[in-house]
Amino acid sequence: MSKNKIIFDPDADVAYPVNLTINTGATFNANFDVVSVANTAFNFTGYTGSSQMAKSVSIGSTSYPIASFAVGFTSAAGGKFKISLDSTATRLLTEGRYIYDVLVSSGSTIYRIIDGMILVKPGISSAP
């Protein structure tokens, strides 16, 4: 389980880069602690989140996500959330490099808060 502390500046309109690794067949969780530029917890009360991964972005056409992460605010007022995929979903992923992002929204305001690369690694053992 990875844990990442990021600084979120809604006025900058720039996603914070975080690269991740997913092992196929394993449950995946990535936790994020988000602080403002003043180094205080960013308050996500009233926000919703979404996150997807894809092999690439197609300009001028529809890009289809490979997987959609569950996004959960573990402490909205404390600036904490996580993205996750269960083992059934990671089992369907093929080895390789992917891109992903995390969007958060409140009303009609949408922020692309995180983006980066995901390395999907195949497993060699099976669960008992």
pLDDT at 110: 95
d(CA 34, CA 76): 10
The per-residue pLDDT for 65 is 82
Instruction: Return d(Cα 57, Cα 77) in angstroms, integer.
Output: 33
Measure the CA–CA gap between 64 and 53, rounded to whole angstroms.
9
Indicate the CATH number of 2-121 among 2.40.40.20, 2.60.40.10, 1.20.1090.10, 2.70.98.10.
Answer: 2.60.40.10
Q: Is the dihedral of CA 31, 37, 41, 43 positive or negative?
A: negative
d(CA 63, CA 58): 6
pTM of the model: 0.88
- The predicted pLDDT at position 128 comes to 59
pLDDT at residue 61 in the model: 56
| Pairing mode, strands 67-75 and 48-54 | antiparallel
Q: What pLDDT band is residue 34 in, cutting at 50, 70 and 90?
A: very high
Torsion angle in degrees (nearest 10) through CA of 101, 19, 69, 41: -80
Closest CA to 20 of 89, 82, 64: 82
How confident is the model at residue 17, as a pLDDT? 95
pLDDT in tens, 48-101: 999 999 987 765 555 678 899 999 999 999 999 999 999 999 999 999 999 999
| Percent of residues, the chain, with pLDDT higher than 70 | 89
